[in-house]
């Protein structure tokens, strides 16, 4: 049922339990949607909810069942063409902007396919040699859970009626005092450093040299952003990067996405904005302009990770499974929580580039991250729509500087 609790944060040591949990949450997220809702594609960056359901199932069928289960036959030979995303090694596919034209297969047919694949996957979940690929499948589906939520929010926002996906109200947010996590500088070890799962773009681990800096203990809030607007933040060219100013003027941007006169659009429809809640749905350009206005700056991804790990200037590491993250099928909304993880993905000023000695994985799954290392910026942490347990200190999310339909926010940094 809508809002039902689905156990999502499961130890990946039990692959069968984790598989069932991840797959169940994906389906719980679409339960409030009609067939028409699930078919909407509101822009090229977004995909229909129905397509997300199918694409993650295509991933399991293609890279696990087809390649590793003897005698397995595809559920439908024509579906890879419409549910492949960007894997060139897997052949031709429909154009991305055409996903919203797929009235068939129906939502019911896709759910039946999911059940078929779930059953067929059971023998593979006990094969230890497939663990790395199965864990990649978990992470992939969790990423699409977040995309599903942000994409359907953008689609429902296009409706003048402001429809609610869930009826639950907006949670209240308490004012948080500003403190600073300080770091004395020096050599820090960055990147994935354990035997657990990580994407290929999180490594290899390597050393970086940091200058002394401080990172804010909290995210920038709606109230602070309202002050930025009132002070002419969107009207003063000197605050903006040249590309950002051109983007602002071309698109007539005057506020974060989904804002309107004291309220904002959420998965529960239009809600009054909480001034103490973290601001979200901002672009890199906006985040950088606000930091300049505030007399601060955005952190680098290396600074953020060093604080998250508890290196040098911190007494303890921050819990990647802490904060406001996704546990069940319910409306995600930033509300302000302790620690570095949760509420909003946080922009850094680091370009999304390969680490020293980076090599993409072999085969089609090697297209997952490496080929996108151009023109994008790294975001750290997790959001209210990120499945709890999905992120970690080394996690590197990435978006183009103009994109803001995700739950993106900012945490200020300063030099010491």
Question: Where do the structural domains in the chain lie, given as residue ranges?
Answer: 15-157, 180-415
User: Per-residue pLDDT averaged across 9-24, rounded?
Assistant: 82
d(C-alpha 54, C-alpha 27), whole Å: 11
pLDDT tops 90 at residue 271: yes
Write the pLDDT tens digit of every residue in 345-390: 999 999 999 999 998 877 766 766 778 899 999 999 999 999 999 9
Pick the CATH number of 180-415 from 3.90.1580.10, 3.30.390.30, 3.90.1200.10, 3.40.50.300: 3.90.1580.10
d(C-alpha 15, C-alpha 140), whole Å: 15
- Strand partners of residue 398: 378
pLDDT tops 70 at residue 263: yes
pLDDT tops 50 at residue 201: yes
d(C-alpha 244, C-alpha 50), whole Å: 34
d(C-alpha 78, C-alpha 322), whole Å: 42
What local confidence, expressed as pLDDT, does residue 3 receive?
A: 38
Q: Which of 3-7, 175-179, 199-203, 279-283 has the lowest mean pLDDT?
A: 3-7
| Mean pLDDT score of the chain | 93
d(C-alpha 125, C-alpha 233), whole Å: 53
Contact 181, 217 (CB under 8 A): yes
d(C-alpha 176, C-alpha 337), whole Å: 9
Write the pLDDT tens digit of every residue in 66-102: 999 999 999 999 999 999 998 888 999 999 999 999 9
Pairing assessment for the beta strands 345-351 and 408-409 based on DSSP bridges: parallel
Q: Please classify residue 128 by burial: count the beta carbons closer than 10 Å to its beta carbon, then call 0-12 exposed, 13-18 middle and 19+ buried.
A: exposed
Q: Please classify residue 28 by burial: count the beta carbons closer than 10 Å to its beta carbon, then call 0-12 exposed, 13-18 middle and 19+ buried.
A: buried
* Both tokens assigned to 285: 């350009």
User: Per-residue pLDDT averaged across 43-69, rounded?
Assistant: 97
What local confidence, expressed as pLDDT, does residue 89 receive?
A: 86
d(C-alpha 190, C-alpha 207), whole Å: 6
d(C-alpha 129, C-alpha 227), whole Å: 55
Phi, psi of 351 (to 5 degrees): -70, 145
What local confidence, expressed as pLDDT, does residue 311 receive?
A: 64
Pairing assessment for the beta strands 186-190 and 180-183 based on DSSP bridges: unpaired
Q: How confident is the model at residue 13 (pLDDT cuts 50, 70, 90)?
A: low
Contact 378, 354 (CB under 8 A): no
């Amino acid at each position: 049922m809508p809002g039902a609790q689905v156990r999502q944060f499961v130890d990946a040591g039990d692959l069968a339990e984790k598989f069932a949990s991840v797959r169940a949450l994906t389906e719980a997220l679409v339960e409030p949607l009609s067939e028409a809702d699930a078919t909407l594609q509101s822009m090229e960056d977004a995909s229909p909810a129905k397509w997300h359901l199918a694409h993650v199932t295509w991933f399991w069928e293609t890279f696990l069942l087809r390649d590793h289960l003897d005698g397995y036959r595809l559920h439908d030979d024509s579906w890879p063409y419409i549910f492949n995303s960007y894997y060139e090694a897997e052949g031709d596919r429909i154009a991305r902007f055409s996903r919203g034209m797929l009235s068939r297969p129906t939502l019911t047919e896709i759910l039946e396919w999911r059940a078929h694949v779930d059953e067929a996957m059971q023998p593979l979940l006990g094969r230890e040699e497939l663990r790395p690929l199965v864990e990649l499948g978990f992470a992939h589906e969790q990423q699409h859970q977040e995309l599903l939520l942000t994409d359907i929010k953008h689609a429902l926002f296009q409706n003048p009626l402001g429809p609610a996906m869930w009826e639950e109200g907006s949670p209240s947010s308490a004012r948080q005092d500003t403190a600073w996590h300080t770091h004395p500088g020096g050599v820090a070890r960055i990147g994935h450093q354990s035997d657990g799962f990580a994407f290929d773009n999180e490594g290899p681990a390597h050393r970086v040299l940091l200058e002394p800096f401080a990172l804010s203990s909290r995210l920038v809030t709606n109230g602070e952003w309202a002050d930025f607007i009132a002070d002419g933040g969107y009207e003063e060219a000197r605050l903006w990067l040249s590309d950002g100013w051109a983007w602002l003027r071309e698109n007539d941007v005057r506020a974060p996405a989904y804002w309107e006169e004291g309220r904002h659009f959420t998965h529960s429809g239009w809600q009054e904005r909480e001034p103490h809640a973290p601001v979200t749905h901002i672009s890199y350009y906006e985040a950088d302009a606000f930091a300049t206005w505030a007399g601060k700056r955005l952190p680098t991804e290396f600074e953020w990770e060093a604080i998250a790990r508890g290196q040098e200037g911190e007494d303890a590491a921050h819990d990647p499974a802490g904060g406001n993250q996704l546990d069940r099928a319910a409306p995600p909304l930033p509300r302000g929580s302790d620690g570095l993880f949760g509420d909003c993905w946080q922009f850094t000023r680091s370009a999304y580039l390969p680490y020293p000695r980076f090599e993409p994985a072999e085969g089609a799954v090697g297209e997952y991250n490496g080929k996108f290392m151009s023109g994008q910026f790294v975001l750290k942490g997790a959001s209210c729509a990120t499945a709890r347990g999905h992120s970690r200190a080394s996690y590197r999310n990435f978006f183009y500087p103009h994109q803001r339909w995700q739950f993106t926010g900012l945490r200020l940094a300063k030099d010491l």
